[in-house]
A and B are shown apart, each in its own frame.
Chain A
Amino acid sequence: MKRTLTVCPYCGTGCTFYLVSDNGRLVGVEPSTTHPVSRGGLCIKGWNAFAFVHHPDRLTTPLIRRDGLLQAASWDDALNLVVEKLKGLQKNYGTDAVMFASSAKATNEENYLLMKLARAVFSTNNIDHCARLCHSSTVTGLAETFGSGAMTNSISCFDQTDLILVIGSNTTEQHPLIGSRILNAVRSGTQLIVADNRRIRLARQADLHLRHKNGSDVALLHGIMHVIIAEDLAEEKFISSRTENYAALTESVAEWTPERAATITGLEATEIIAAARLFASAERAMIVYSMGITQHSHGVDNVRCIASLAMLTGNVGRPGTGVNPLRGQNNVQGGCDMGALPDLYSGYQKVSDPQLREKFASSWGLKSLPATPGLPLTRAMNAATEGQLKAMFIMGENPVISDPDQRHAVATLQNLELLVVQDIFLTETAALADIVLPAACYAEKDGTFTSTERRIQRLQKAVEPPGEARADWEIICRIAERAGYPGMRYSTTSEIMEEIATLTPIYGGINHERLDPHGLQWPCPDIDHPGTPLLHVDGFTRGLGRFSPVDHRLSAEQTDEAYPFVLTTGRTYFHWHTGSMTRRTHLLNREEPHSFIELHPDDAATLGVRNRDELLVSSRRGRLKTQARVTEMVIPGVVFMPFHFAEGAANTLTNNVLDPESSIPEFKVCAVQVEKLP
């Protein structure tokens, strides 16, 4: 028997556990009892995180499409072909004809290396990852207002706060060990406001549950801020000493009386007033948000309003306060930190800055690096549709299931001249690829993940990968070598982290040895630095916090006679994203074995629908069959679907409209029709 301490591969909470192995096979999981976040507990995905690893569907050999079929190939042939094709397409169409999609499931070291591969070896800034689909609005919005697009506080702050506002986060299902802290805090007297029209578990414990209409967050937050200012509840001292542009905020919310906000949000004005008074009266208040805020065509505006509310009430820079975007994936924070973004190197250093370009070029042994920011992932898909992009190298992502408007996503991928997918299973996306590279999963490699509270923690190899599968970092290095680049030779992942630390000020003091046993929180600028649990304590990262007023905009697609329901999408507790791991985990898939749609009992009665009836759901983009779940979880007129399921895929219906600044798709609002199948 062997026990290996590692980090959970699912959400961004950053729980650690021991993988239990026997003769090279995983046989279970044991929680860490000393970890400051998980404290001896885990959620059901964590308890079952060993169970997909040895699944017979794992990819064990490279595959090359020959005669229309994916056929087993040698690593030599597969990697030579990858390099030859990518270089060939770049020669014919320019260096920016290729796109690299990195992965929030992969380690920091691997994200850094794919970023380096794109920029140093293939001379393009076309590198991005799935943060584009989840928290790109946060990165943009908080960078502008605070100077840093990350969770300002730590998870331990939930034990030290007087009030928690949860807006657009189903925390007990999506970050269960954070959600459970909120439940415990409420039992200890912390007040809770839930702003979310789904009746999520936290809502059952809330002092105030605001069921505002989808897409009306700006109106709600404007209404709340209006009341706080009008009733003289703002924290004037904080505003005058720590922030700028306050006058513009007061002007922009002046007309947002609670009555006006009520007409947009569908709430009573009294509810908005009550929320404002409750929030402003708390000595220490935390704001928690997630995809319900970010995944809108005005996601960045939503984030700006949240930042304003926190500054307006002085809730930044102290324990038990802060703006706390909960990052979805295990390493989506790290993916961003490592510069798997089209405009930033690791540590949020801009590619447009000549000095920074020179720094990276010099370290990587190059004369120059490309200066123009690359394409965000979502815009790259559109560019491929239009024929400007010819190739995609996708590591550990499954856009066929995760991207908006599935028909568009599939057509786009099929339109490419080259699609390379590096993954652990033959996902729906890998099945379309020209070349498939088999990767090791989290249990089969070393490296680091960075959790939502900026905690960098070590992932440690417990078992060998199956067949010829290799760790992503090893594959990337072999591609670089074959492309003639000698600057990516590492014998261990700790060597890669050493390089990251030299180039990335916020990771300057990080090395693998220092991370035992429970990691360090960035910024950690030097080897003696203890890490930073709280951001913006004495001043904001950008100096003064900036109030950024916004205008209210409606969601891109409104309901009408043909499509009378608002569809909002998300995840369930038991599955992870496109289900490639959890749908191969017996207990998890047993809990949620198929696609479903939540429908309010009033709507069900009108449609003559009963629980578990088969329904046809259609939007302007497509249609699907799914099963009815009649529940008061949703409000009348709104339906909810999880996007995990390839059969009954919610993203068949969603709208590929993007926030103009963050390029995040509007997953949370589109118009659909629901019909009962005979």
Chain B
Amino acid sequence: MENVSAVLAQSKRKKLRNKIITHSLWYVLYAALAVVLLFPVAFMVTKSLMTGTEAASLPVKFWPDNPTLENYRRIFTEGNYMRYTANTLIIVVFNMIAIPLSASVVAYGFAKTKFAGKNVLFVAMLSTIMLPSMVVQIPQFAMFSSFGWINTYFPMTIPNLFGGGAMNVFLLRQFMRGIPNELDNAAKIDGANAFQRYLIITLPLCVPILIYVMITVFNTYWSDFFGPLMYLKTEAKYTLAIGIFRDSIQNSSVQNVPVRMAAGVFMTLFPAVLFFIFQKQLIEGVTVGSIKG
């Protein structure tokens, strides 16, 4: 009897030891991969802590001899980066409100109402996802020029009031279809009209997917390069993405790299923090979008 339990205990210990060994092997592999994948981020951070002279000295260093926050001080106090940030935020905040609102109204129409031509409109909308943006970009530029919208934020904001993008409508519609119609019907019997049902019943239930949409909107417009490249012509109007790019063209020498990397870290920080906070919603949202409906 004793013998048996001893053998059992031994095999248990052996199993545990095996588990510890295989797990630590996994951890080594995971850590190695993390080091590789995060290397560019690390490069950006350490470069941002160097002085201009150090970045331009040989041999090349990964870690600065005297880490300094001087570059960060400079982007916060000198130059135009804070103005670019404010400009970017104007576009971002407008779209973070306009797109979820507009898209959810349209999505409600697709998910909860019946109307003639629904399928035609839905297919037309979805097919625009495949359309290369270059096809419409050129006439749009001509159109917005004739509106006097060059060097304003209107081209990057006003069109979003009209539906807020096919992908966002699709996501919201998928989500709304998952909400039982009984709720809607009950409210209908209580005399709520369609708009009230949208606003009071459906919208509050869509919060998880709305968060996802808002964060993708933030990321899209925070880092949008193409729109500002086309439409913003003076430095006073630049957003961060176009500002940092023009800076890299105008001050292209190596001495200027650290300041730009500090701006890059600053620019990456916002989406990174949002990702850390809303991981769960983000991963779920990606899933809703990709699993066919």
State yes or no: do A and B come from one complex: no
Q: Which B residues lie at the A interface, using CB under 8 A?
A: none
Q: Which A residues lie at the B interface, using CB under 8 A?
A: none
